[in-house]
Structure 1
Amino acid sequence: MFIALRTEVEAALEGALSRLELPTDDLGIEEPPEDVPAVLASSVAFRLAGEMGATPPQVAAQLADEIDVDDLTYVARLETQGPYLNFLPSDAYFAETLAAGTDDDYGALPDRDTSVVVEHTSANPTGPVHVGRARNPIVGDAVANLLEVAGYNVERHYYVNDAGRQMAVFTWAYETFGEDDLESDSDRDRIEYDLVRYYQKGNAYLEEADEEAVEAAEAEIQTILQGLEAGDEATYERVQAVVDQVLGGMRECLERLPAEFDEFVKETRFMRDGSTQELADRLRETEYAVLEEGAWQLDLEEWGIEKKLVFLRSDGTSLYTTRDLAHHEWKFDTYDRAVTVLGEDHKLQARQLEATLDLLGNDTDALDSIHFSWVNLPGGEGMSTRRGTGIMLDDLLDEAIDRARDEVESRLDDRIRDDDLDDADVDRIAHQVGIGAVRYDIVSKQPTKGITFEWEQALDFEAQSAPYVQYVHARCCGILDEAGIGVDGDVETEVDADLLETDAERHLLETIARFPAVIEEAADDLEPHQVATFTREFGEAFNGFYRECPVLADDVDPEVREARLALVAASRHTIANALGVLGVAAPESM
């Protein structure tokens, strides 16, 4: 209903400004401070004061006189407060919010008939996913969820780097060394942990072996790279034998988050189908192409980029970015819009790619990039798959679940444990809370800000964390269960919303009403952390209602009871769907 009210306010202001023959390009609509009872306010009087030759409060009063509130459905009153116009909600606003909130899909926006491909994670298949890269699948998955709820037709892609030097080194090492040559046992019984030892052994050999041995190894590695470039089927199959095994293990790790994909797009696809070579040929024909020391490069100064982009090496082989350019042109041909989630170390590459796509005549307005900073652990451990250092994402998730289980166990007294929760329940809750704590803590921060993951903060049931928000959902489910309705039961929706008249009830309804607008704005900005912020605000609003407004007490009027139960049901749908966007489980009990 917030979106409907905002639309109504916009139309009312535009009409008033038009009648006064004033510009309507900036309405100054904003959410007022918490101590103002309005749902929306307008500061447009500030902008118009000079043009109208009056003070802002005088302008606000004149505009208010031009708006007939009786013509509006969701606005009950319009009040001026100095230079501000404050719009107060009507009974219809609250009644329709309550009815809409009891829908299972509450918050989802209408179909936009627009396809979007969200590419994220895309870590090189050289070994286990480490903690430093955890932000990519978590943020990427949340962005995809957010766009889907906002009405887009979304596909989730993982772009597999299976043609670069790293994979050539990996393939050579896998074929060269045996188990007896490896210096350590596998850290975990899963294929990528086993095979990464070959990759690490190969890199160590290239650093430590004598010059003649290194030259021989480099010749074999170069043969693999040349074979891929030439489209040699036997070389491709050799590399894929490594890539597919490692990628299979990485997928198992990512599914724990969960972060799932519709397609794993391999960069060799764009070499084998000829599109990379075709693109390189087009680039060489542009006025921006220069040949320096045998390598073809692009001069992108016209786009404010000083560093030239090499798109063909002196030996004629393509680079990752060359293949990614072909990949992106395929995206533009297949989808209406492309969103890519990248680490902050890819900013220059992303700028070069966008500029090159532009000079090739592509509509780069359809391209969006989200850059994120790394996740650190206390102590600042370094992360390197090549050297075999760092903390793996699997280890972080295991510890999160163990710590959550300890926290849950500490909160259960013997009676609750015996009567309501068995070991399977505790395990379920520990998994939901532990994984949720990791995801929520990471996605709730602005991507550009670095994160140091702190256990105490992430698993604090009393602070604004995943457990804090998850507990709101569990509390809603508990109330509905106690009322005999249950989570999947039908709550009475034909209730009188006017009975929800306390400040706590009205504040909760207003917060519920904002949810679709939060989805809309967060999707437009590609910022899922806005949804996380909303969940914390929602948690505070619901807990205020829970403290002040008993639902099932014996002395509560039956009609009020039914209205409050509907409000609890609307609250449950709101928080469950918001958590769903973030990829955080909504436990029914905690």
Structure 2
Amino acid sequence: MFRAFRAEVEAAIEAALDSLELPTGDLGVEEPPEDVPATLASSVAFRLAGEVGAPPPKVAADIADAIDPSEYAYVEAVDTQGPYVNFHVTPAYDEATLDAAQDDGYGRLDDQETSVVVEHTSANPTGPVHVGRARNPILGDAIARCLDYAGYDVERHYYVNDAGRQVAVFTWAYETFDEEDLPEPERDRPDYDLVRYYRKGNQWLDEADADRAEAAEAEIESIMQGLEAGDDETFERVGRVVDRVLSGMRQSLERLPAVFDAFVKETEFIRDGSAEDVVARLKADDHSVYEEDAWQLDLSDYGIEKHLVFLRSDGTTLYTTRDLAHHEWKFENFDRAVTVLGEDHKLQAEQLRAALDVLGNDTSQLQSTFYSWVNLPEGGMSTREGTGVDLDDLLDEAIARARDEVESRLDTRGRDDDLSADDIDRIAHQVGIGAVRYDIVSKQPTKSITFEWERALDFEAQSAPYIQYVHARCCGILDEADVEETVDASVLSTPEERALLRVIARFPAQVEQAADDLEPHVIATYAREFAETFNAFYRECPVLSAEDAEVRAARLALVRASRHTVANALDVLGVEAPTSM
């Protein structure tokens, strides 16, 4: 309803400005300051004061006088406070909100009839996913969820780097060393098993004498050349390593969960000839130069000083060359392409966009969003020497700490016979994984963050458990009550009830904003505000013990609307909504 109300407000202001023969432009519609008692306000009087030659409060009063609220379904009244034109909602607004939020799909927007491919994570298939890269799958998955809720037809893709030097080294090492040459794997999983070969190979290359290293490098180069030439045997050799490593990496990612509709290999664009076609077209362009034994693009026309190398002297393509073919394939198959990248890839992304433009593509289809790193406080986790902290280590510790917190709370408040050991395991998993996801996705992506266990797992503060507990509380209330088919929203008259209705009404608009800006932290912030508002309602407004039957029914409907809202807000973020805690 908030989106509908906002549309009415914008229409009312625009009509008023037209009637006053004032320019429309930026209408200044926004949520008002805390001291302005309205649902929406317009600051347009600031912009027009100079043109009109009157102080902003006078301009605001003239605009308000030109608006007839009776022409609109959800505008009850229009007034001013200083320079703001304030808009108040009708009872019909609250009724429509309460009714809409009874649907368990509340917050999902209409079909946009637009396809979007979201590429994220795409970590090199050389070993287990490291915690430093955990922000990419969490942010990428949340962005995909935002777009899905906003009505887009979304596909989630993992772009597999299976043609670079790292993979060639991996393949050579796997075929060179024996099990007895390696330490025990850290986990019984393919990625942990095979990464031992990769580490051994790199160590060997660093320590080998010149003759032995030269022979090994020749073998590695032959693998790269075989891939470039489209040699089936070489593809099979590399595929045996890459596919096994990916199968293990997928198990880590699915724990978050971050799942993918497709794993697109860069070798596909070598084998189908599209990378070769990109090279030919780039060579023929005026931006192309041959310098330092390599074909390069001079992108100075695009404000980029560093040349983009797209073909080596030995005739092999580079990652970015193949990624150009990959993106042209995206443009052919999807209306929009979104890529989630670490901040260290900004230059690469700028070069890619410029090169796509050189190739004649409509780069408005492409959006990139960048994130900074996730750090762990010193001593915050145990680490295995030489390997850093893997994502699995982080998730295991999150679940263990959540279980300790749940057990501690049960001991403090008294054991609940209804909670079995399986229930505690379920809650620990939901809370632990949810705490990691929420703590990471709730921050603006461009800000580096340090993950802190005490903050992330705080049941009393603004964290995932704090919000998850609201959903569990809603479920507990509704489990004890019969569903009323018809309710009267007008009996919800306390400030806490009305505040909760208003924050519920805003949820679809928050989904729209998060999807438009590719910023899921907008939903995280909203979910915290929602939890605070619901808890104020819960403290002040008895539900099951309400003396008046109509009030009880309306409050139950409000709790049901709250359950749908918080469940879907958490779902947008990829955080589970426990039914009990």
TM range (shorter): over 0.9
Indicate whether 1:231 and 2:230 are aligned.
yes
> Which residue identity does 2:49 align to in structure 1?
A
Distance apart, 1:52 and its partner CA = 1.3
Distance apart, 1:35 and its partner CA = 3.5
Indicate whether 1:135 and 2:152 are aligned.
no
Indicate whether 1:456 and 2:447 are aligned.
no
* CA separation of 1:91 and 1:319: change in aligned 2, threshold 3 A: same
1:256-288 deviation line (CA, Å, top 9, x unaligned): 011000000000000000000000000000000
Distance apart, 1:53 and its partner CA = 1.6
Contact conserved, 2:125 with 2:160, CA < 8 A, in 1?
A: yes
Contact conserved, 2:402 with 2:457, CA < 8 A, in 1?
A: yes
* CA separation of 1:98 and 1:461: change in aligned 2, threshold 3 A: same
Please name the residue that 1:408 is paired with: 406
Indicate whether 1:398 and 2:396 are aligned.
yes
Question: 1: CA distance between counterparts of 2:189 and 2:265?
Answer: 22
Give the stretch that moved more between structures: 409-418 or 236-245.
409-418
Question: 2: CA distance between counterparts of 1:185 and 1:375?
Answer: 28
Give the stretch that moved more between structures: 164-173 or 409-418.
409-418
1:392-442 deviation line (CA, Å, top 9, x unaligned): 000100000000001001111499645210000000000000000000000
Please name the residue that 1:562 is paired with: 553
What secondary structure sits across from 2:538 in the alignment?
helix
1:371-411 deviation line (CA, Å, top 9, x unaligned): 111111112999999x9421000010000000000100111
In the TM superposition, what are the counterparts of 1:143-542 in structure 2 within 5 Å?
Answer: 143-182=143-182, 184-379=183-378, 388-413=386-411, 417-483=415-481, 485=482, 491-542=483-534
What secondary structure sits across from 1:419 in the alignment?
coil
1:52-73 deviation line (CA, Å, top 9, x unaligned): 1211111111111110011121
* CA separation of 1:442 and 1:414: change in aligned 2, threshold 3 A: closer
TM-score (ref. length: structure 1): 0.97
Please name the residue that 2:54 is paired with: 54
* CA separation of 1:382 and 1:466: change in aligned 2, threshold 3 A: closer
Please name the residue that 2:99 is paired with: 99
> Which residue identity does 1:71 align to in structure 2?
E
Distance apart, 1:50 and its partner CA = 1.5
Contact conserved, 1:383 with 1:389, CA < 8 A, in 2?
A: no
In the TM superposition, what are the counterparts of 1:115-126 in structure 2 within 5 Å?
Answer: 115-126=115-126
Percentage identity across paired residues of the two chains: 72
Question: 1: CA distance between counterparts of 2:383 and 2:276?
Answer: 32
Question: 2: CA distance between counterparts of 1:238 and 1:88?
Answer: 68
Give the stretch that moved more between structures: 51-60 or 390-399.
51-60
Q: How many pairs were matched up? A: 581
Question: 1: CA distance between counterparts of 2:478 and 2:408?
Answer: 26
Distance apart, 1:343 and its partner CA = 0.8
Question: 2: CA distance between counterparts of 1:552 and 1:390?
Answer: 51
Question: 2: CA distance between counterparts of 1:429 and 1:56?
Answer: 54
Distance apart, 1:294 and its partner CA = 1.9
Distance apart, 1:37 and its partner CA = 2.3
Question: 2: CA distance between counterparts of 1:508 and 1:89?
Answer: 14
1:584 to 575, 578, 581: 575
Q: Which runs of 5+ in 2 are unaligned?
A: none
Moved >6 Å (runs of 4+): 380-385
* CA separation of 1:311 and 1:76: change in aligned 2, threshold 3 A: same
* CA separation of 1:473 and 1:381: change in aligned 2, threshold 3 A: closer
Contact conserved, 1:381 with 1:390, CA < 8 A, in 2?
A: no
> Which residue identity does 2:300 align to in structure 1?
E
* CA separation of 1:360 and 1:383: change in aligned 2, threshold 3 A: farther
Please name the residue that 1:488 is paired with: none
Distance apart, 1:36 and its partner CA = 2.6
Question: 1: CA distance between counterparts of 2:259 and 2:514?
Answer: 21
Question: 1: CA distance between counterparts of 2:490 and 2:477?
Answer: 21
TM-score (ref. length: structure 2): 0.98
> Which residue identity does 1:462 align to in structure 2?
E
Question: 2: CA distance between counterparts of 1:355 and 1:204?
Answer: 38
